[in-house]
Amino acid sequence: MNIKTTLTLVCAAMMGMQLQAQNVGIGEPAPSSKLDILQTETAGSSLEVNHTITTNGSSAIFLRNSGTNRALHAQNLSTTTTSSIARFLQLGQGNGVEIDMDAASPSGIASFLVNNAGAGFGGYFIQAAGNTRPGLLVDHSGSGYGMMVYQNATGNGIYNDVTNGTGFVNIIRADQTGFLGDHTTAGGTGASISLDVQDGIGYIVDADNGNSTTPATAGGDVYGFFANVYTASPVAAGTIAGAAFAATQGGVSHGMLINHTGSQGRNAEFNINGATNADETVFATNLGQGPVFVGQQQSDVLAGTITAANFSYTGADLDDHIGVEGSSTPAAGYGIGVQGTGNYYGVVSIGDMIATGDLTAFGTKAFTIDHPEDPENKMLKHFAIESNEVLNLYRGIAQLDANGQATIELPSYFDDINTNFSYQLTAIGTPEQPYVMEEVNNNKFVVAGKPGTKVSWTLYAERNDAYMRAHPEAGQVEVEKKENNKGKYIRPELYNASPDKAIFKSHTVKKQSSTIQLPKGKELQNQQQDRPAIKIQKETTELPTLD
């Protein structure tokens, strides 16, 4: 017997090694396996394998199993320990755990199976704070699903709790769908986003070529939100489906585009149904160079008179509510509150018009102010003078010189816009009346009388500006009604005629209301409540179970 054999037997004896029927036991008097190790010490590992040769390319432990059960089976029999069944500490450059399935593996067999019958996690991944790599990476090259979740009971199919960063990133490298929700089996909510009382955005679409400050130079048509909806008639009149939408457009196209091709129905409708809500139904601002709103009626085939825009107060409250209010208040002296342009009439008023006083088209024309003697309870109205001519009026005070003359200078534009003059002179402080010595010429005229007399003068002139010269019919007093207005009236009620005989008909919209109503059984639910899951055809897959 050589020294090596002797040492081996001595060591085996010291360790309590037992050899029975070719089974080897270490600390185990009756080994049941080829190698059976029983740990009887209070500290230390039951088995430790050290692979210290750095040039050795073999595995520290290599397991082969030609039988029908597992190559490795580990159990933790302690019911109080919080330690893991297995731990893999990787200090090198490779993967933590690698499972290679042979190409001949049957369909439906899982490379990694967790069968959790308890109350713990099925899988738990902890990623170091400085690690920029994914916590879980699935590199899928097949034609099936990269990851599939069957949620067969209450709860969430996927739950994502994010403290910082983006909750979900989906990069699509082909012309495919980024997210598909199939609700054809049970309906339900396609996406529910709850911000509670927090600031946030429910849905963002960026189509800016990676640079939101510069318009994209290439690309096709892009829609921030696109939906095809074909629904049956509402179960009750006036009920509609509703949605909130917010978007930021940084390019040169539309922020929102809605095309309606149906034979009826509004393109968009906005309702505030809270009786105490004092906010605007629609609020819009524009920091650019164009108008805030542009509306165009472009139909060439219309039945009767159409209104391109209609704003109406349809309530019954006893107050002077305003149908349309326009204001423009830039620097002092500038701004036009309301401007109307028409080939026939620029502005038509059915009733009195008031501009801090009545300026009416068909009734009286007056300025209206608070009565200076009783401003809290009364108003004072001064009325405009009607005339059968389109006139301009000029007035002033002149002082006759020692020669009994005064030259009255008129505005520099006077000759350009006036013709056919009339004069009125009144002496102040003397009965001797002055007279017109020279008529208007080169924007001035001369009056004469008793030297030193103060003269009050008034000059009436017929308008003769460029517009009046181009449209002399604008000053015509008696006008024939157009053929389509024959037999109609501006104010038919004054002639005991029916309202349908009015030339300018009111297009006031009747009072109406619309209620946003969700389909029955589809009310929004809290996150912890049961929601219909996306139904995807399951493959017939038999997964093995644990012993």
The string of pLDDT tens digits covering residues 76-102 is 888 898 888 888 888 888 888 888 888
Report whether pLDDT(285) > 60: yes
Output the pLDDT for position 426.
Answer: 97
Report whether pLDDT(528) > 60: no
Output the pLDDT for position 537.
Answer: 39
- The mean pLDDT of 296-301, rounded to a whole number, is 88
Structure tokens at 370: 């608070």
Output the pLDDT for position 536.
Answer: 32
**Among 39-53, 352-366, 466-480, the least confident range:** 352-366
The C-alpha atoms of residue 54 and residue 102 are separated, in whole angstroms, by 29
**Which one, of 514, 510, 508, 511, lies nearest residue 310 by Cα?**
508
Query: Residue with structure tokens 């104010």?
Result: 491
Between the alpha carbon of residue 61 and those of residues 48, 51, 131, 235, the distances in Å are 10, 9, 29, 71
Report whether pLDDT(11) > 80: no
Report whether pLDDT(527) > 80: no
Which alpha helices (DSSP H) does 423-482 contain, by range?
466-470
Output the pLDDT for position 8.
Answer: 52
Q: Which band of pLDDT confidence, cut at 50, 70 and 90, is reported for residue 236?
A: low
**Among 150-159, 300-309, 365-374, 413-422, the least confident range:** 365-374
Q: Which band of pLDDT confidence, cut at 50, 70 and 90, is reported for residue 6?
A: very low
The C-alpha atoms of residue 471 and residue 360 are separated, in whole angstroms, by 23
Average predicted confidence (pLDDT) for the chain: 79
Report whether pLDDT(423) > 90: yes
Q: 55 vs 28, which has greater pLDDT?
A: 55
Structure tokens at 392: 């301009």
User: Please, is 282 exposed, middle or buried when counting C-beta atoms within 10 Å of its C-beta (0-12, 13-18, 19+)?
Assistant: exposed
Output the pLDDT for position 200.
Answer: 81
Output the pLDDT for position 525.
Answer: 37
The C-alpha atoms of residue 425 and residue 393 are separated, in whole angstroms, by 14
Q: What percent of the chain has pLDDT over 90?
A: 15
Which alpha helices (DSSP H) does 217-267 contain, by range?
none
Q: 230 vs 17, which has greater pLDDT?
A: 230
Output the pLDDT for position 5.
Answer: 47
With a CB cutoff of 8 Å and minimum separation 6, the contacts of 239 are 514, 515, 516, 517
**pTM of the predicted protein model:** 0.52
Quick one: how far is CA 434 from the chain centroid? 73
Q: 334 vs 291, which has greater pLDDT?
A: 291
Output the pLDDT for position 519.
Answer: 42
Each residue's pLDDT tens digit, 35-62: 888 888 888 888 888 888 989 989 888 8
In 209-323, where do the E strands start and end?
239-240
CB-side exposure of 43: number of CA atoms within 13 Å? 0
The C-alpha atoms of residue 449 and residue 402 are separated, in whole angstroms, by 10
Each residue's pLDDT tens digit, 442-459: 999 999 999 999 999 999
Output the pLDDT for position 539.
Answer: 41
Between the alpha carbon of residue 276 and those of residues 192, 273, 279, the distances in Å are 28, 9, 9
Helix, strand, coil % over all residues of the chain, rounded to 5: 5, 15, 80
The C-alpha atoms of residue 459 and residue 417 are separated, in whole angstroms, by 14
- The mean pLDDT of 282-295, rounded to a whole number, is 88
Output the pLDDT for position 425.
Answer: 97
Output the pLDDT for position 516.
Answer: 45
Q: Set out the domains of the chain in order of their start, with CATH numbers.
A: 1-40 (no CATH), 351-384 (no CATH), 391-475 (2.60.40)
Q: 49 vs 242, which has greater pLDDT?
A: 49
Are β-strands 366-370 and 239-240 bridged in parallel, bridged antiparallel, or unpaired? unpaired
Q: Which band of pLDDT confidence, cut at 50, 70 and 90, is reported for residue 108?
A: confident
Output the pLDDT for position 234.
Answer: 58
Q: Which band of pLDDT confidence, cut at 50, 70 and 90, is reported for residue 212?
A: low
Largest CA distance in the chain: 165
Output the pLDDT for position 244.
Answer: 57
Output the pLDDT for position 211.
Answer: 59
Report whether pLDDT(122) > 70: yes
**Among 6-15, 135-144, 342-351, the least confident range:** 6-15
Q: Are 114 and 123 in contact (CB under 8 A)?
A: yes
Output the pLDDT for position 213.
Answer: 60
